[in-house]
């Protein structure tokens, strides 16, 4: 493995929305993104989703974890075998539980198994060292967001908004010397995004998601309910901060009296309102917000964001990026940084007391 210069890195992401596995390649030296390579997606089957869903909230050794890990390892190996030319793999695994102030963080899936199966040096378990050091362990994409801000030629503060199962924001000053520099970044989770909406659709209609936001668009949000959710003290807590997928799982139980359309509209509004409320934490206002993750395909959610936030909001495709694969690319980028003993998180992204370089490295025999 070359100790400097550009590498072709392959990264993966299977997020809290439980839809499937993303994989993408980039060429990078851990500082600069030079090129984007091939990308692919492998959806989870209904049976695989059920196995993963049954393991949510569980920790190593709990009853459903081994089955979930097997699903993650097998689906990743199947997808990643399609790629060639990668010099390192960044494997995120599947987050089952996240409690940085308590038991820690748990991403199932063993990177050593993938290293052997693929014959490829694999970096994995990116979050644990950050949590051990006192950080939140999330979000981890901000250092990559900084590199992308430079890639698109940004010259004034902007933000990346990731709408996955949960939502997180990265505020960026692209004029800073690097992502490690004080004041270059501020990153934090803002609240639930697609996860409770997907759970609602599955429970009430047997559907994976509110496709395109069509159901929410036909309903009316309960704004009193939205305001009540945002009174949770967590939203006022200063960043960096993160949440677990299950932290707001009780939202669905409180929507029983609403129609399907109104419940979907209300959960969509909760996601948008929490992002809007988070703007108060930005060090300075931003010129625009670039949206990545599955939620950018939800027209109702994008409309709610634009209604509540008086800043230009665009999908990342507007600047030539791939919002479906950006998280997978991020772990390719971070894998190179781990190999080269560079920081992957720090005080302004996860709240760790110092810069942290996270991740285990497994090499094939």
pLDDT tens digits, one per residue of 73-128: 999 999 999 999 999 999 999 999 999 989 999 999 999 999 999 999 999 999 99
Instruction: Tell me the residue range of the domain where 88 lies.
Output: 7-138+323-344+351-362
What's the structural domain count of the chain? 2
Claim to verify: residue 297 and residue 336 sit in the same structural domain:
no
Phi, then psi, of 63 in degrees rounded to 5: -55, -40
Give the mean pLDDT of 130-157.
96
- 145, part of any domain: no
Residues whose CB is less than 8 angstroms from the CB of residue 257 and which lie 6 or more positions away in sequence, other chains included: none
| Portion of the chain with pLDDT greater than 90, in percent | 92
Q: Is the pLDDT of residue 210 over 70?
A: yes
In this prediction, residue 150 carries a pLDDT of: 98
3-state DSSP assignment of residue 160: strand
pLDDT band at 305 (very low <50, low <70, confident <90, very high): very high
Claim to verify: residue 314 and residue 331 sit in the same structural domain:
no
pLDDT band at 2 (very low <50, low <70, confident <90, very high): low
Claim to verify: residue 172 and residue 111 sit in the same structural domain:
no
Residues 12-71 have pLDDT tens digits of 999 878 899 999 999 999 999 999 999 999 999 999 999 999 999 999 999 999 999 999
In this prediction, residue 4 carries a pLDDT of: 78
Residue 85 backbone zone (phi > 0: left; psi -120 to 50: alpha; other: beta) = left
In this prediction, residue 280 carries a pLDDT of: 96
In this prediction, residue 245 carries a pLDDT of: 82
Claim to verify: residue 124 and residue 159 sit in the same structural domain:
no
CATH of the domain at 256: 3.30.420.40
- The dihedral sign for the CA sequence 199, 204, 208, 213: negative
Task: Supply the Cα-derived Rg of the chain in whole angstroms.
Answer: 19
Claim to verify: residue 172 and residue 312 sit in the same structural domain:
yes
Q: Is the pLDDT of residue 261 over 80?
A: yes
pLDDT band at 1 (very low <50, low <70, confident <90, very high): low
Claim to verify: residue 315 and residue 334 sit in the same structural domain:
no
Residues whose CB is less than 8 angstroms from the CB of residue 45 and which lie 6 or more positions away in sequence, other chains included: none
CB 174 within 8 A of CB 154: yes
């Amino acid at each position: 493995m070359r100790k400097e210069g550009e590498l072709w890195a392959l990264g993966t992401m299977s997020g809290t929305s439980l839809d499937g596995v993303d994989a993408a390649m980039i060429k990078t030296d851990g500082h600069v993104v030079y090129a984007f390579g091939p990308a692919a997606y492998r959806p989870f089957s209904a049976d695989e989703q059920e196995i993963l869903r049954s393991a949510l909230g569980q920790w190593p050794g709990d009853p459903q974890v081994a089955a979930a890990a097997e699903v993650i390892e097998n689906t990743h190996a199947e997808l990643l075998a399609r790629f060639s030319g990668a010099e390192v793999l960044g494997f995120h695994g599947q987050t089952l539980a996240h409690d940085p102030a308590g038991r820690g963080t748990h991403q199932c899936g063993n990177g050593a198994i993938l290293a052997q199966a693929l014959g490829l040096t694999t970096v994995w378990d990116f979050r644990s060292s950050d949590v051990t050091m006192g950080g939140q362990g999330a979000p981890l994409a901000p250092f990559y967001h900084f590199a992308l801000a430079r890639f698109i030629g940004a010259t004034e503060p902007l933000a990346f908004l990731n709408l996955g199962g949960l939502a997180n924001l990265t505020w960026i000053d692209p004029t800073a010397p690097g992502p490690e520099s004080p004041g270059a970044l501020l990153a934090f989770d803002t609240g639930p995004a697609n996860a409770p909406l997907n759970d609602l659709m599955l429970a009430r209609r047997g559907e994976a998601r509110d496709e395109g936001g069509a159901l929410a668009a036909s309903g009316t949000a309960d704004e009193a309910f939205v305001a009540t959710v945002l009174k949770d003290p967590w939203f006022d807590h200063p960043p960096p901060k993160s949440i677990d997928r299950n932290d707001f799982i009780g939202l669905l139980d409180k929507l029983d009296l609403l129609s399907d359309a109104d419940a979907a509209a209300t959960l969509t509004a909760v996601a948008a309102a929490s992002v809007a409320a988070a703007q108060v934490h930005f060090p300075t206002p931003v010129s625009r917000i670039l949206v990545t993750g599955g939620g950018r395909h939800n027209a109702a959610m994008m409309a709610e964001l634009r209604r509540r936030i008086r800043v230009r909001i665009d999908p990342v495709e507007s600047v030539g990026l791939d919002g479906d694969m950006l998280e997978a690319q991020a772990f390719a980028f971070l894998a190179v940084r781990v190999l080269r003993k560079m920081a992957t998180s720090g005080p302004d992204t996860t709240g760790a007391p110092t810069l942290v370089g996270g991740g285990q490295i497994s090499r094939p025999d």
